[in-house]
Structure 1
Amino acid sequence: MMRGAKGVAACAGLWMAVTAATAGAQQAADVLSMGGAVTEIVVALGQGHRLRARDATSTWPPEVTDLPDVGYVRALSPEGVLSVEPALILSEEGAGPPEAIDVIRAADLDFVEIPDALTADGILRKIETVGDALGVPDRAAAMSAEVEADLVDAMADAAQPEAEKKRVLFVLSTQGGKINASGTGTAADALIRMAGGVNAVTEYAGYKQITDEAVGLAAPDVILMMDRAGADDTDHGGADDELFAMPAIRLTPAAQSRSVIRMDGLLMLSFGPRTAEAIRRLNAALYAQES
């Protein structure tokens, strides 16, 4: 009888171990991450093994591109998102369209929205929110401390005397020969200021198509653009010769000195764990310093 009881207990223990292992295996790949910075944070927290899928903006680190892609975060389809069967969705603020998000939220899963950020404090809030959602708040706290220190150092090193700051025009696109540029309240605007520059356009908020006259009045010393390597550059500035030949740009100080900086869009605009690196790179490019 004792032997039977021990056998039952052993079997029960084995069953519990198998069940726990199965549950752990299921949890290991239960997260859909949407938003480049969100996905970077998940991986940086050591939770990349839990990712089941990603959105099209999640391209760093490179290994995440092997995951299924549910589409662009602002143009989602409920069918595409739900087809990967996530238990938890971590989504950057502004995912859409709204009707698609309503359907996704109504499904039997956890949906956590990660607040947008245009400041160092905002980046730390992103990390904290992701860490809490993944159940690793201690790791998130340690990571936040490291990221905060790096950001403080990067911004201190990038500081410039007011009179020496370069005027920077961030050009989102040149589609149809028209300049779509950043005003205030954008990630581009925030990064330019963090890197020791001045946004050349402050008359409006967000991104907007502006006139040739407005570009001339902005008088940028430098044109800043996303590096779209491998993409069709026809609508995004193209070669430097084509950029500086545009009527809107050819008379600016930037054209006279042929000053254009192209940076990886995700690094530059996502405001995630690598933002200190983006600050240093942009500052070095603006002021010809060694990074």
Structure 2
Amino acid sequence: MAPTRVNPHRRALLRATATLAAGTALPAFAAAPPRAPRLVTVGGGITEVVYALGAQDLLVGTDTTSLYPAAALDTPKVGYLRQLSAEGLLALRPDTVIAPGDAGPPVVLDQLRSAGVTVDLIESSHDWGEVRRKVQAVGRAASTARAAQNLLVALDAQWDQALRRVRAHAGPPPRVLFVLAHGGSPMVAGEATAAHALIGFAGARNAVSGFRGYRPMTAEAMAAAAPDAILTTTQGLDAIGGEAAFWRRPELPLTPAWRRRDSGRALVHLDALELLGFGPRLPRVVGELHQRLVAA
């Protein structure tokens, strides 16, 4: 008698049934890997943290203040941090937008939340806690909590070392004026600004007081401030034609800084983001400013 032919599909079903009856589990299908989070960072200091954590592959967009490291220049830009567009942001399909507390406008942030995007706003308190909050926020959004903790340990040690150097200096603190001159009339930084905090961290004293934010730089204000040194941004100095052009301003001959202009300590400048971004480079910046303004 000819052998009975068994349908191959039926044969596979019979084998599977026998396997289950014997108590042997079938091979499990591999679960799909989780999708990597898509991040947009607003604020150069926050973007720096992403690169410091090695999470730059998760970046799908940054704002126009995100200029460091150089690779950040090649990321899609979503505009200036206070003039964001919901359409431009949503086109990048982010899971999370991390931004400083003054980012906006608020209606745009509300539109992002309504679309299911997590918006993490970091308070701009101009202190070391601000830097730590940025690292923690990126660690959460990028699912790199352990790397974020390791980075915080290293940065905390650098910050403590910088502050010890500043506190070890016994001389009187010089009076330092921060001048912002990126366009239009130069402005000087008063209290409740990143520049004011940075001057204090470096062991100097802000030459102006009694107001918050920025005010125009006038001859009367310069004479009253009597700064020993002036701190500004490299970009602002370049915009007015360099150091020689800066010292030709009519307000400056009224100051002690002008009389010391050939000392190399009367005018100090650094990159704007490096100075005011309050990112991972802050300990090094404080140490450098202390050396150039106070301890030299």
Provide the TM-score with structure 2 as the length reference: 0.84
* Percent identity for Structure 1 against Structure 2: 33
Higher helix share: 1
**Structure 2 counterpart of 1:132, from 133, 140, 144:** 140
* Alignment-derived partner of residue 153 in structure 1: 161
* Alignment-derived partner of residue 31 in structure 1: 39
Give yes or no for contact 2:58–2:142 (8 Å, CA) kept in 1. Answer: no
Q: Deviations over 1:86-139 (max 9, x none)?
A: 121111211112222222222122211122231123322332233233333222
How far did 1:210 drift? Answer: 3.9
* Alignment-derived partner of residue 207 in structure 1: 214
Asked if 1:173 is matched to 2:181, the reply is yes
* Alignment-derived partner of residue 22 in structure 2: none
Asked if 1:233 is matched to 2:239, the reply is yes
Give yes or no for contact 1:174–1:180 (8 Å, CA) kept in 2. Answer: no
Asked if 1:141 is matched to 2:144, the reply is no
Q: Deviations over 1:149-195 (max 9, x none)?
A: 1111112212365753211110012755x431000111111111111
1: CA distance between counterparts of 2:95 and 2:292?
43
Residues 85-94 or 101-110, more deviating: 101-110
1: CA distance between counterparts of 2:116 and 2:138?
20
Residues 271-280 or 115-124, more deviating: 115-124
* Alignment-derived partner of residue 256 in structure 1: 259
* Alignment-derived partner of residue 271 in structure 1: 278
* Alignment-derived partner of residue 248 in structure 2: 245
Question: What letter corresponds to residue 148 of structure 2 in structure 1?
Answer: A
* Alignment-derived partner of residue 192 in structure 1: 199
Unaligned runs of 5+ residues in structure 1 are none
2: CA distance between counterparts of 1:198 and 1:162?
14
Q: Report which of the two structures shows the higher radius of gyration computed on alpha carbons.
A: 2
Give yes or no for contact 1:123–1:273 (8 Å, CA) kept in 2. Answer: yes
* Alignment-derived partner of residue 64 in structure 1: 72
Asked if 1:13 is matched to 2:16, the reply is no
Unaligned runs of 5+ residues in structure 2 are 1-11, 20-25
Asked if 1:83 is matched to 2:86, the reply is no
